[in-house]
Amino acid sequence: MPEEPCQCADCQRFYKEHDRLIREFPTFKQQQELSWASIQSFRTLCNKITDELQRQLSEKESNEDLSLEGNHISDKEITEALDELESVNAYLYSIEALMEKIFDSKVSNNIELKFKEIAKQLAPDPLNIDRLILNRLFHQTPDFPDKKNIN
Ligand SMILES: [Zn+2]
């Protein structure tokens, strides 16, 4: 019996997004640029939030009475978030170093045409096996109990 791909909301969102990124960025060069932009935007946002949370924390320390409108984030939440963001930033930094290596690679125009051709075949397929493998990262709920021992 073939393994049924998971159809939970997280997985379905992943299938859709995965295909969109292949359809809209069907060349080697476009995928390079997309990955780079994705890492950089994630880093930019995380860094900005880190700065903001640190500022908020130090303002609270210097002024106990300060109560900002609509600010319901506790010190504990801020401290935990800062720890998480620090790890994420370190990982993103490592990924960025690897992405620079990937950016060194180039393919000829003929190979780019091949990319486009294959992208067209790949993106409409809702059950692409490569995507299903990748999606284990996005999958938020455990698989059926009887599948636990397969891997
Ligand atoms: Zn799922």
pLDDT in tens, 108-144: 999 999 999 999 888 865 556 666 666 666 665 555 4
Report how far ligand 1's centroid is from the alpha carbon of 148 (Å).
14
**SS3 assignment, position 130:** helix
Report how far ligand 1's centroid is from the alpha carbon of 9 (Å).
7
What six digits make up the tokens of 70? 């609509």
Report how far ligand 1's centroid is from the alpha carbon of 140 (Å).
6
Q: How far is CA 30 from CA 35, 49, 119, 123, in A?
A: 9, 28, 12, 15
Around Cβ 19, how many Cβ atoms within 10 Å?
Answer: 18
Report how far ligand 1's centroid is from the alpha carbon of 112 (Å).
32
Report how far ligand 1's centroid is from the alpha carbon of 127 (Å).
13
Q: What is the pTM of this model?
A: 0.71
- 44-66 tens-digit pLDDT: 999 999 999 999 988 877 765 55
